[in-house]
Amino acid sequence: MTLADGGTAPLRFKPFHDSRLTTLLAPAALGVLMVAAWQLAVDSFDIQPFIVPSPHAIFDQLVESRASVWEGIRGTGRNALYGLLIGAAVGIVAALLSHASRIIDLMSVPVVAALSVVPIVALAPVLYTMFGAAANTARVIVAAITVIIPVYFNTLRGLRQVKPVHRELMTVYAASPVQVARAVTLPTAAPYVFTGLRIASSLAVIAALIAEYFGGPVDGLGKAITTSASSSNYPLAWAYVFGSILLGLAFYLVTLLVELRVSRHGPAT
């Protein structure tokens, strides 16, 4: 027996290639125009490299020292990734605990909120003395603390989105707490967790990179930028800046894709 009620065809998910193409093309065109204008300005006004080097010079340096830029990306990227993973784990576990216990919630929310106004990178010099300037530990910690904050708050918010009707359904089924978490609470929170991770991903890169300015081993983009700037190799410094943009973008895009995938079937009735 089949019956279509009201004759309404089910809404299928529209593929968004067409709109995606325009959303990609428009900013790309603007970017190309800006780079062209930059090159033109440097050429026609004879701007010195220590003020701003031309895109062409930066690109030359990028190609020439691609090995060391890649090296820097890997160094900073590793720290940012460890920081992201550790910070995400701590943030999610802390949010789960806060959600499970009212007392932990009362204790931890203000602490994490207070943490969010502390300029975390300012801790870097202190951490270098604590863990030794030869280790990357301080950078990973700085990145991790930065990550904890958005992950914690977003996860907590997600855990609180469980609909009463879903909770009652689980009561009706006499489901165990673990079953409730697996069937309802965690899937409800997942999109929020990934939103937190997306915000945290670029913060992790920024934090790991800035932390390099305050000391530590010489294997990251931040160190490379300061070193080449102080040796007056400005196009190279800019090439490393370009490398760090690529790194931040990569982190952001990967987490964005995961987020889009997870939140595809958003809240329905």
Partner 1 sequence: MSSTHPDGPIPANAVEVSGVSRVFPRRQGRDVVALDDVHLTVAEGEFVSLIGPSGCGKSTLLRIIADLDAPSAGSLSVFGKSSRQARLDQDYGIAFQQAGLLPWRTVAANVGLPLEIHRVDKGARRQRVGELLEMVGLTDFAKSYPDELSGGMQQRVAIARALAESPRLLLMDEPFGALDEITRERMQTELVRICSETGAAVVFVTHSIPEAVFLSDRVVVMTPRPGKIIEIVDSGPDTGERRDDDFRDAAGFFHTVARVRELLHGSPAAAALSAARGVENR
CA 225 from centre of chain:
21
Nearest in space to 255 (alpha carbons), one of 206, 174, 212, 194: 194
Q: How far is the CB of 217 from partner 1 (least distance, A)?
A: 44
Contact call for residue 160 and partner 1 (CB under 8 A): no
- Contact assessment for residue 138 and residue 128, using Cβ atoms and an 8 Å cutoff: yes
Q: Which 79-118 positions form the footprint of partner 1 (CB under 8 A)?
A: none
Interacting residue with partner 1 among 1, 51, 114, 117 (CB under 8 A):
1
Q: Which is nearer to partner 1, 158 or 222 (CB)?
A: 158
Contact call for residue 47 and partner 1 (CB under 8 A): no
- Contact assessment for residue 138 and residue 124, using Cβ atoms and an 8 Å cutoff: yes
Contact call for residue 261 and partner 1 (CB under 8 A): no
Contact call for residue 64 and partner 1 (CB under 8 A): no
Q: How far is the CB of 158 from partner 1 (least distance, A)?
A: 13
Contact call for residue 15 and partner 1 (CB under 8 A): no
Distances from the Cα of 178 to the Cα of 56, 130, 175, 259, angstroms: 58, 40, 8, 24
Contact call for residue 14 and partner 1 (CB under 8 A): no
Nearest in space to 94 (alpha carbons), one of 114, 109, 116, 113: 109
* Sequence-ordered alpha helix ranges (H) in the chain: 17-45, 55-64, 66-100, 102-117, 124-131, 137-159, 164-172, 177-180, 186-212, 221-230, 234-262
Task: Say how far apart CA 142 and CA 132 lie, in whole Å.
Answer: 14
Binding mask 168-207 vs partner 1 (x if CB under 8 A, - otherwise)? xxxxxxxx---x---xx--x--x-----------------
The residue count for binding partner 1 (CB under 8 A) is 31
Q: How far is the CB of 157 from partner 1 (least distance, A)?
A: 17
Q: How far is the CB of 251 from partner 1 (least distance, A)?
A: 25
Q: Which is nearer to partner 1, 77 or 196 (CB)?
A: 196
Rounded to a whole number, what is the largest CA-CA distance in the chain?
Answer: 80
Contact call for residue 119 and partner 1 (CB under 8 A): no
3-state secondary structure of 235: helix
Q: Which residues bind partner 1 (CB under 8 A)?
A: 1-3, 5-6, 8, 10-13, 163, 165-166, 168-175, 179, 183-184, 187, 190, 265-269
